[in-house]
Amino acid sequence: MQAQLSLDERHQLLSVLREMDPAGLPENRRKPRRKVSMNLWLRRIAKGATFPIQKVSLINASQAGAGLLCPQPLGTGERFVIPLRFAEGGGWLVLCETRNCRAVSQSHYKVGARFIDRVEDPEGTTRTPADWLS
């Protein structure tokens, strides 16, 4: 019989296994990150400006932030919105702030982002809240 683990149970199990691995590298982050491979869109936001949607790849995530692979650089402190969808159903529209950005190739940049706010997005149709744009 196979048991299904909740998201929290999986996170706890991975944390314990990581601590037990003598060859594993220590986690130097405040919150552990999980490797992810997910394509999604990103929309940069700034007061009085309109930006096109960009396709990006989510490469890791934690409770406090995420790592993205982007075709264009983002400035430190720049804000953007990403949609997160969950395998269990539902999702969030998340407001993020760029913490760091570095080139990893001639055409891609690795962006470290911190989550600032989120709204429920059960159907993937929620619009960006007006107060995020100011």
| Residue pLDDT tens, the chain, 134 long | 445 667 776 666 666 666 555 555 555 556 677 888 889 999 999 887 888 999 999 999 888 899 999 999 999 999 999 998 887 888 899 999 999 999 999 999 999 999 999 999 999 899 989 899 87
CATH 2.60.40.1180 assigned to 33-133: no
**Burial (CB count <10 Å: 0-12, 13-18, 19+), residue 42:** buried
Strands (E), the chain: 34-45, 53-61, 65-70, 79-85, 91-103, 109-120
Cα angle value 16/22/24 (rounded, 5°): 75
Instruction: Identify the pLDDT of residue 31.
Output: 65
Ranges of each domain in the chain: 33-133
Cα-Cα-Cα-Cα torsion 67, 69, 73, 78, nearest 10 degrees, comes to: -30
Instruction: Identify the pLDDT of residue 102.
Output: 96
Distance from C-alpha of 76 to C-alpha of 114, rounded to nearest angstrom: 11
Distance from C-alpha of 45 to C-alpha of 130, rounded to nearest angstrom: 11
